Structure formats: C-alpha cells, structure tokens
Structure 1
Amino acid sequence: MLSFRDLTYRIAGRVLLDHVSATIPAGHKVGLVGRNGTGKSTLFRIICGELQTETGGVELPNDCKIAKLPQEPPGGSQTPIQYVLAADTEREALLAEAEELENSTSMEDAERIATVHMRLAEIDAHSAPARAAVILAGLGFDEEMQNRPLDSFSGGWRMRVALAGCLFSNPDLLLLDEPTNHLDLEASLWLEGYLKSWPRTFLLISHDRHFLNSAVEHILHIDNTKLVLYRGNYDDFETERRLRMEQQTALAQRQAEQRKHLQDFVDRFRAKASKARQAQSRLKMLAKMQPIAAAVEDPTVIFRLPDPEELPPPLIVLDNLTAGYVPDKPVLRHVDLRIDMEDRIAMLGANGNGKSTLAKILAGTLKPQAGQIRRSGKLRIGYFAQDQDEVLDESRTPVDHLADLMPNATVEQLRTRLGGFGLTREKAQTAAGKLSGGERARLLFAMVTHHAPHLLILDEPTNHLDMDTRDALVQAVNEFKGAVILVSHDRHMAEACADRFWLVADGTVKDFDGDLDDYARYLADKRRAAATVKLKGGGNSETSAADRKAERKQAAAARQALAPLRIAVQSAEKALARLNAEKMQLDATLADPDTYTTMTPAKLAELQKQHGEIVRKIEAAEETWLEAQAKLEEAQSEAA
C-alpha cells in the first residue's frame, strides 16, 4: 500500500531521513512517533508530494486517495456541515453534473444521468448529510453549531471541522498530525473509537500515549534519521525497543572485546616472522568487522517543580458560587467545592461547559458573579493557561523572562532555576523564538512555578509536547507537594496524576464517582439517550419548560436544606485552621535553639504541654470536620 524506498531527505544541510525503507500494507493503523524535530510532519509532506527527496521516494497505488489534516483551520461563510459534505469531492462533482444535465433532452445526456445516479447510489450519497452530522456531533457540534458560519468559531473548533472533513472523505490513506490537540477529552474518546473501526490505512502522529495504545496496531519510529516499524501499540513498541537497545548494547560490548583480543594478538606477534601471516590474517578480520554502535538513549527531559511549604486546610472553598463573563448569563451556578494541599483533581466535561472558567475563578483571574470564594491567606497559585505561550517575547531569552518575575535573583540563581527544567546554560541564553516546543513549555513552567505555588492549575499543559516531555511532566506533577487541578485531553496524564474527578456539565460542577473508563461509558450512555430522544421526535416544549421550573424549585429547596450542614462544615474548618495556625507557631518556637537558652525549664515545660494539648484538639477537630463533611456529602448524594 505505502512504501518508502531508500528515501533520503535533508533540510538546511541537516539530514532528517537517511536512506530509509519501510512498507506499510493496506489496512494498517500506524502511529508515527519520534521526538519533536525528527521529521514526522516532514514525512507526511513527502507522502503527499509536497516535498522532493534527495534519493529514493514513496510508492503508492496510482488511484490512491489521500486526506491529510491541514495545519491551518478553514474559514468563511460556509457552515461546518457544508464544509464536511464538500470534502467528498466525487459526490460534489456528481451532484453538480446531475443538476447540470437534469433538463437535457438528449439521449446521450440521459445515459450519462443514469450513470451518474448509479454511481451516487454506489457511494451511498443520499445518506451523506446524516453521516456528516454524526461525525460533527462526535466532535462536539450540536445541530445549531453545525449550521453556523465557520467564521463564528474559534480556531480550535474550526480545526475540528477540518478533521471531520478528512474523516468524511473516506480516503484510502488518512494522515492525521496531532488530531487531538484541539479536542477535549470527550471528543478524543469519540475519535479513538471511530479510528478503531476505520477500515482503511491511516498514519497518526500523536504524543498521547493512551490514544496510541488504543487506536493503532503498529508503530513507525523515526530515530536517528532511520525508520523502524514495530508491531503492536505504543506500550508494545516501548517494550520491544528497550529489548532491542539492550541487545545492541550487548553485541557492541562483545564486538569490542573481540576487537581488543585480535588487536592484542597483532600487537604481540606482528614483528615475529613465525606469526606474521597469522597477524596479517587478524588485521584483515579487524578491517572487515562492521562496527556495532552501542545504543544511546535520548537524554532525559528534566522537570523539577519547586515544593511549597505546608498550609493548613482548606486552601480554597467555593460556596454557592456563580461565574460567567456576561451579566445574567452565568456559565456556572451553585458551585460548592473545596481544595486541600493533597488534592489531585482532573476536570471532565466538554469544551464550552466551563472548565477554563472554573480554572480562572480558582486562579483569581476571573471574579465570581455571586457566592463566596475563600482562600488561605498565604496561598500562592501557579496558573498554566491554554494560551500561556502567548506571554513569551520571541526576542528575549529564558533568563530575561525569569528575571522579570524574580528581580532580586542573580543571573546564576536564574540559570539554576532554569536548569531544574532542563534548560542548560546555552538554552537559557537563547531567544525564546529559537527554542523547540518542549523547551518553550519548560520555560513556561519555570515561570508559572517561580514562586513555589501551593496550588498548580494546569489548563491543557501537554499541547505540542513530545512523549518524553509529557512523561517528565507527569512525573514532576506526581512528585509535587502541593495541590493540582488539571484540565487535559491527554487521558494518560489524567489517569496518572488525578485521584479525583470533577464533572463540569449542565451549568455546574460536581464530583464524578468513577474512573475514566466509567466516564467513557457515561458519555456513551448519554449519546444513546440523546439519539433515542431525537428518534422519538423530542418532547413538548411547554412541558419541558414546566419541568425545568420544577427542577429549579427543587434545587433551591435542596440548597436550603443543605445550608445548616454547610455551616457546620465551615465552622469545623475554621476551628481546624485556627488550631493548625497555633500549632505552627508553637512548632516554630520549639524548633528555635534560642528557646532552650532563654526560657526557664518551667516555661519550656508549659510550652510542651500546650503543644500536646493542641495536637489532641486538632485530632478532635479533624474528627468533627470529617463527621460534618460526611453528613454534607451524604445529604448532597441523596439530593442529586
């Protein structure tokens, strides 16, 4: 189906692909992986004929239809459904021809019309609008959105439309370059399932480990200018590659020992006439031995998030909070949440439901419209926003950027901080515009965490990061001593880092009881229910309005019933916070060496007694808080 034959390509004198050969049979689902800058997107352009190779080339069937996800989003007055339907160019051409010949009376045209309609039937043209609508719905477009002009959408949503067009066109070879970068977790899960049943060949560039594990059956790895095809998903590839590297290293060691043995013989006996012929023979053996290079692992990507000091719980409490951007049009309502130092929480919910809005509320960059938000007085927050990359000045170095945030730090201190994120002295003095995507991400994390935050809010932090950088980030987040709130379409990161999930949906936020497999089932059930309602023709609008009014009254009554329980929880939290603050003061006093030289034994004994009493009071206060919290959660569960 797809073959690379002795293919060489170089850019600006640097060899990206060096005499590579590989064959991908028809129907194979292949993940194309490799570090950023190794030539993955370049290989896609070579396949499409956009770039010319130095040697060799690509072999494809003559009638092979290729669809490649574009890098730029579509626009204009065309609607998403119109754009997707137009992606099937054969159908569009046949429909246009049929319309043009419709009023013709010639026998020749009549025969042609019959042929056109026969072909339209063969490609199932009549069902095309329904098929296009299903794909758009899977990628997050409801009926109203499908019929809005493309120019009314953001770039991310328009990239979803481009992806829908590629899928709808049913190509023989589908090329997808980071298709999940503009998707939320819900759309990523849908795409994962859609590609599992894809009947033809596709190549997928992705740094999403879970997506690669689920969607592909082979891995094509670009490494050190070479191509190697592995059978299995990404985890299988890592296991086999590790084994190959170990075997190559062992072979290289054995060869080195053999070469040393031959060379020692030559050095000892070259001058002796009786051994001269044997020495010459061994010299020829040495000359013929092809050197085996020991496998060299890529350098480890470094992420070291600075740890904050401990703060007593809670860090943040939201009480009946309402948030949005336009008065009287809230995005979120009746939000009751609490965050503590040990929390690792991932947000679930489709784009547009309010995940970024909640992140901004927690970060303090957006004020609530109603309700209360209480923060610990010493709380420091690090907020990595989706558009974080825009804060970088392309002409300034990482040292310059960090110096703006740490004006009292020396250049050496700034370099040390950047070194904790894998930015060496050379990279620390390189203009941001010349850094790779992973290096820019590490600079941004160094900036976001420069003040050792207690709470780290990460809104899509893995976009454009390669696999190694993502793995390093996951490890750093797991080792971080503060709280973490995560918004990410990267399922592997969410599963590896989060202990709890918040579901942001239907205008509010609530705990999701389950893991991401449960969430995938929840979404599937929701889609089936929506399809059933649509099949039945929907409900009566007046009845629906009455139901919504009744639901609002019921919710108000439930909130009123929960009020005393919330007050009890808040009182317990305040008491616990006060006791923890007293304990911290006593701890500091007892840890001070001067205390034991300036204080009388009686006073010291009194302090130690107070410390013991505070510890007992904290234990009792914790029990009171846990009991109050359990009652509140039980009541909330019954009211849900």
Structure 2
Amino acid sequence: MATISLRNAGHRAGETLFSNLNLVIGDADRIGLVAANGRGKSTLLRAMAGLVELSDGEMTRSRGLAIGYVPQEVPAASLALSARDFITQGLGAATEQDEFWRVDMVLEEFAIPEHLRSLPLGQLSGGWQRMALLARGWVGQPDILLLDEPTNHLDVGRILALETWMDYATRTMPVVIASHDRAFLDATTNRTLFLRPSEQVYLPLAYSAARQELDRVDAAAEAQRERDLKQVSQLRKQAAKLTNIGINSGSDLLTVKSKQLRERAEKIEGQVQSEHKERTGLVKLGNSGADARVMMAFEAVPVSTPDARALFTIAKLHVFQGDRIALLGRNGTGKSQFMRLVSRALGGDVPPGMRLSPQIAPGYLDQDLSWLPLDPSPLDYLLHRFDEGDRRTVALLAGAGFAPDRQTRPIRTLSLGQRARVALLALRLAEPNFYLLDEPTNHLDIAGQEQLEADICGQGATCLLVSHDRAFLRAVATRYLMIDGKKLVEVDSPEPFLAQMAADA
C-alpha cells in the first residue's frame, strides 16, 4: 500500500505557515490542499516529494514509494530542453534506456502535438509547458501523484480533459492536489485539507461540501469561544467581589475561594481556541462610475491574428454600463486576439467600426501579469505610479498582506500569488470603471477569487472577461458571447458550451 504519514508536522518561514498536522495518505485518497497564498501548500508538497525538510514533526513514506511530483512552473534550467527530453528525465537515469518507450506513450496520452515535442520548452505556451510537466510527473509510473496548481495556464477544454484523465488513470492511487480552482477540486477530489497556522481541518469531502462544513465548524467554534470567554469574565468578576468581601471581613476562606475562581478562569482561558482568521491580504476593488449608458460599441469589426489571418467578425455589439460579459470559445478561435484588440483600443488605437465612451477609465488584469515591472519593489512601483504618499502606500501594502521587509524586495522575488496582490492593488488605485480581465484568477487564492467576484458584482463595474475558472465565470458574468465559426454570437448561458467541451474531452 502506498502511503505517506505525517505526525505533528509543521513549517516555519519567519512565521508559522502550518503546524500540528497529523495525516495518513493512502490508496484512493484524493486530497484537495487548500490555503491562502503563501501559507505552505507548495512547501508541504515539496516536503512530501522529498525535496525539502519541514521545520517540525515527522514524515514517513512507505518503502520504495515512487512519487510523481508536478510543480507549478518549469524550472528555469530546463527551459532550453525539448519537451521530449524534459519528459525523458522523469524516468530517471537508471531506467531511461530500458523504459524509453514510455515517453512516446505519455506524449500521446497527454495529446502533445508532434511538432511541439522537439521545441525548447521556453518556446511553448504556458498551457503546453503545463502538459509537459504533467507528462514528466506521470512517465515514471508513480505510486502517488502530487500536483501543484495543475490547471494554471490550461484552457477549459484541457482542464476538462485533465479531469477525465484523472478519473480513469489515477482513480485508485493517492493524489494530493494544491489548487485554487474550485470546480476542478470538486471534480477530482474526495477529501479536503484546509491548511492553517495552528489547527488543521481534514474532511472526507470534496471542496464545496467541505467548505460548507468548515464554515459550520468555524461558526460553532466561535460560538463556543464566546461562551467560554463570557464564563471567564463572570468568574473574574466573582473572584474580585469575593476578594473585596474577604479583605473587608478578614475572611481567609473567601480569599482562598477567590483564588480558586481566578485559577479556574485562567484554566478555561488557556483552553479557549483563538479565533481563526486567514490573513490573506485581500485587496478590495471599486468602480469610479460613469454616466454613459453605452461604454463600448462594435459594428463590423474584424478580429485577426498578428499576421492578418481573419478569425471572426463582430457584426454588432454594445457593451452597456454594468454589463459583465464573458467571452467563450475553443482554444485558438480568437479569444486572446479579441482581448488584445480591446486592450489596444483602450490604449488609444481604436479600429474602424469601434466606438468608446470618453468616460471609460480602464483597468487591465491578465494571466501573465505582463504589465507588472519586476525590478522595482512593490513600494517603489506604487509610489512612482500613484500619488498616494509614503505612509498611505506602506499602509495599503500592509493591508494587502505585505510585511515591511517584503514591501522593499524586488517584485521578481515575490511569489506569483504575491505579484497578483500587487497587481490588484495597482488596479484598485487606478480607480477604473471598466475592467478587462484575461484569466484574472490564475494566481489568486480562493479567498482572493471570491473577493474579486464580490467586488466586480457588488460595485456594479462593467467588465469584459475571459476565464477558464468555471466557478468564477458563473459567479461574475451577466452576458455570454461565444465565438462560433467566423462570428461572435450572444448565448443565454455558458452551460451548453461547457457541456460540449466536456463531451469532447
């Protein structure tokens, strides 16, 4: 039986990321690992894979356990390798010669096209790099699979195909998945571990059901905490009253009784669980508002590739204030080119047939955070871009979850989740009334996704969005446009499109 066992496991990196983790992972356990950005998910997976040591506790693996570990990104040192050579390394030097046939097998299994297999990984899209990572983790026929954000950079079709593959290929083996994709966790897991600094919560449920149970558990714990603290307050008041009476009457018995009440209060107080609050560094967005009814209009606007190959035409489209429009389409149909066309128009390069309201104040968030500079620190970047002053900028960064030392580090040294928080903070300070969101949830944790959903919906902001995150798509959009052949058509719901994508997976 393939197992990994953790006893009193924990890890500290300046602060406690998690502690007191007791867990046995066995056959058919498909565990969703959920926590805020920077709270130890990747560290725990790397420790399970034998790549790092935890600060505290013990970890044991069953003898001869073969581990398939899939990190978030291709290591920089491997970007010059071809996809085939990178996957071949997953066999290990001892079996590479005898088991080379497995490489061709997994290349086919993960549908990596022939013409991409010999290209350097650095020349492939993020989606194909992700597929190469998955293939490398699988080629060695592991006993357990550890996946770190496996859906990042994948479109809906490939996510659904990955869900289908996992259902038949990994059904009976242990799998641990760190992911912020709620729909993916629901489809692929049967257990959920909520990783927290002090107490860990492990439930035999997929994410959505586990989240509901966690909310109930947290509410019950908080209610008990309030009752305990109320009892402590009452005991201290009684002790103080007896002390005064004892002093005035000279009664040693009352003084002893008062001491016993105080000791009882201290014992209860010591057992009271502290309230769990995730320090996620949430950034709240707004809507600067506009009077215009129509924010953007298209009439006979062609959408083409950079080399002028026609993709589709926008016959007629009005984007009204408050619309939240999601763009649907298969990979390669032109979603990215449509978003680039709109982005260029918002920057002043408006094509014939397109009109923008002069009241538009745009805000842009893309999956690669390509507009975010990497050399300055978050503090320097925000100070130079926005006139907020030193003290307010420091306070804003602190509210977004950045300790003082992290505020002055170069952005390139931050995790992708931390970079996303910097980008969101910049977006907030720009005070847009029109959001252009291209895969905005890629590096946001679940709390950040839910906050973004609440802000976009609650503030009544206008937005155009492309997203592979089905939960986000369903929560935010009020209108749906689908690329159908050479046309852009409006549909009532994303569900037929998603169903067709699932059928084709």
Taking structure 2 as the reference length, the TM-score comes to 0.82
The AA in structure 2 aligned to 1:518 is: P
Cα gap change, 1:346 to 1:421, in 2 (>3 Å): farther
Partner in structure 2 of residue 52 of structure 1: 53
Cα gap change, 1:446 to 1:310, in 2 (>3 Å): farther
Structure 1: how far apart are the matches of 2:237 and 2:427? 58
More helix by share: 1
Match runs of 1:276-425 below 5 Å: 282=261, 285-286=264-265, 288-289=267-268, 290-298=270-278, 301-313=282-294, 315-326=296-307, 329-330=308-309, 332-341=311-320, 342-364=322-344, 372-392=353-373, 394-398=375-379, 401=382, 403-404=384-385, 409=387, 411=389, 415=392, 419=396, 422-423=399-400
Cα gap change, 1:369 to 1:339, in 2 (>3 Å): closer
Q: Is the aligned partner of 1:184 residue 2:188? A: no
Post-superposition Cα deviations, 1:296-350, rounded to whole Å, max 9, x if no partner, equal 3335724122232121336121414142212xx4252433241322322222234
The AA in structure 2 aligned to 1:41 is: S
Cα gap change, 1:248 to 1:482, in 2 (>3 Å): closer
How far residue 458 of structure 1 moved from its aligned partner, in angstroms, is 0.7
Q: Structure 2 regions of 5+ residues with no counterpart?
A: none
CA RMSD after TM alignment: 3.7
Partner in structure 1 of residue 134 of structure 2: 163
Match runs of 1:199-598 below 5 Å: 199=171, 200-267=173-240, 268=242, 272-274=251-253, 282=261, 285-286=264-265, 288-289=267-268, 290-298=270-278, 301-313=282-294, 315-326=296-307, 329-330=308-309, 332-341=311-320, 342-364=322-344, 372-392=353-373, 394-398=375-379, 401=382, 403-404=384-385, 409=387, 411=389, 415=392, 419=396, 422-423=399-400, 430-431=407-408, 433=410, 440-448=419-427, 450=429, 452-504=431-483, 508-511=486-489, 513=491, 515-526=493-504
Structure 2: how far apart are the matches of 1:53 and 1:149? 34
Structure 1: how far apart are the matches of 2:447 and 2:453? 10
SS of 1:364's equivalent? helix
* Contact 1:320-1:372 within 8 A present in 2 as well: yes
Structure 2: how far apart are the matches of 1:383 and 1:418? 23
How far residue 165 of structure 1 moved from its aligned partner, in angstroms, is 2.4
Post-superposition Cα deviations, 1:378-400, rounded to whole Å, max 9, x if no partner, equal 44432223333553354344575
Q: Is the aligned partner of 1:94 residue 2:98? A: yes
Post-superposition Cα deviations, 1:403-455, rounded to whole Å, max 9, x if no partner, equal 53x5xx5639x949985995499879933637775554344234346554443
SS of 1:255's equivalent? helix
How far residue 191 of structure 1 moved from its aligned partner, in angstroms, is 1.5
Structure 1: how far apart are the matches of 2:122 and 2:396? 43
The AA in structure 2 aligned to 1:510 is: L
User: Which structure is higher in RCO with an 8 Å CA cutoff and minimum separation 6?
Assistant: 2
Structure 2: how far apart are the matches of 1:168 and 1:509? 41
How far residue 367 of structure 1 moved from its aligned partner, in angstroms, is 9.7
* Contact 1:389-1:444 within 8 A present in 2 as well: no
Structure 2: how far apart are the matches of 1:350 and 1:464? 22
SS of 2:12's equivalent? strand
* Contact 1:321-1:372 within 8 A present in 2 as well: no
Structure 2: how far apart are the matches of 1:445 and 1:35? 16
Structure 1: how far apart are the matches of 2:11 and 2:398? 32
Structure 1: how far apart are the matches of 2:266 and 2:459? 54
* Contact 1:432-1:440 within 8 A present in 2 as well: no
Cα gap change, 1:279 to 1:396, in 2 (>3 Å): closer
Structure 1: how far apart are the matches of 2:447 and 2:340? 28
The AA in structure 2 aligned to 1:207 is: H
How far residue 60 of structure 1 moved from its aligned partner, in angstroms, is 1.4
Structure 2: how far apart are the matches of 1:6 and 1:429? 29
Taking structure 1 as the reference length, the TM-score comes to 0.66
Larger radius of gyration: 1
The AA in structure 2 aligned to 1:492 is: A
Partner in structure 2 of residue 2 of structure 1: 4
Q: Structure 1 regions of 5+ residues with no counterpart?
A: 97-124, 528-640
SS of 1:310's equivalent? coil
Structure 1: how far apart are the matches of 2:440 and 2:395? 18
Structure 2: how far apart are the matches of 1:421 and 1:324? 42
How far residue 286 of structure 1 moved from its aligned partner, in angstroms, is 4.9
Q: Number of residues paired by the alignment?
A: 485
